[in-house]
């Protein structure tokens, strides 16, 4: 596998990303194409490519100065186990460090070890954080 990670939005296969998220990602099942497009437009996106073919995607919502939310990290089922997720997370980490972001957050059901490898850890001060959920 010849893996490359890019933040060039022109390289993203939006149809493929929409299919991955809306049909296979537990956190985004049923997400509309329009919502995926708006999310991409408002975020810093990372595409992972094997010989030019997109095999992974990740999105970061950030002000590019102080805070970031890492989300929609997805690796094509056929490419799993080949370091794509690690490459995406490493690229995100390097980019956020380069921007000087002080705090990055994410939520995961099943990939804690992947993110722990670059320093993510459970919230040490959970009593300080609040969540507001909006229904669609």
Q: What is the structure's pLDDT at 84?
A: 98
| 112 found inside a domain | yes
β pairing state of 3-6 and 44-50: antiparallel
Neighbours of 14 (CB within 10 A): 14
Alpha-carbon Rg for the chain, nearest whole angstrom, is 15
Q: Which residues of 100-117 are buried (b: 16+ CB within 10 A; e: fewer)?
A: ebeebebeeeeeeebbee
For residue 62, being part of any structural domain is answered with yes
pLDDT for the residue numbered 20:
98
How many other CB atoms sit within 10 Å of the CB of residue 66? Answer: 11
In a domain, residue 133? The reply is no
Residue 135 domain flag: no
Task: Name the residue among 100, 99, 31 with its Cα closest to residue 71.
Answer: 31
Q: Is 136 inside any structural domain?
A: no
> What CATH number does the domain containing 54 carry?
3.40.630.30
> Total domain count for the chain?
1
Domain that holds residue 124: 3-128
**Which stretches in the chain have pLDDT values below 50?**
none
pTM recorded for the entire structure? 0.94
- Asked, for residue 33, whether it belongs to a domain, the answer is yes
Alpha carbon of residue 44 to chain centroid: 9
């Amino acid at each position: 596998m010849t893996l490359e990670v890019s933040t060039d939005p022109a390289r993203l296969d939006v149809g493929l990303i929409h299919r991955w998220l809306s049909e296979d990602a537990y956190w985004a099942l049923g997400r509309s194409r329009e919502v995926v497009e708006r999310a991409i437009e408002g975020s810093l996106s990372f595409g992972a490519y094997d010989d030019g073919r997109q095999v992974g995607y990740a999105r970061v919502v950030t002000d590019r100065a102080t805070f970031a939310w890492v989300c929609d990290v997805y690796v094509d089922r056929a490419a799993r186990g080949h370091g794509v997720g690690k490459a995406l997370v490493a690229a995100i980490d390097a980019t956020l460090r380069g921007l000087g972001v002080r705090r990055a957050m994410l939520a995961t059901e099943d990939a804690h070890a992947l993110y722990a490898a670059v320093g993510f850890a459970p919230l040490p001060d959970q009593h300080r954080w609040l969540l507001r959920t909006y229904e669609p």
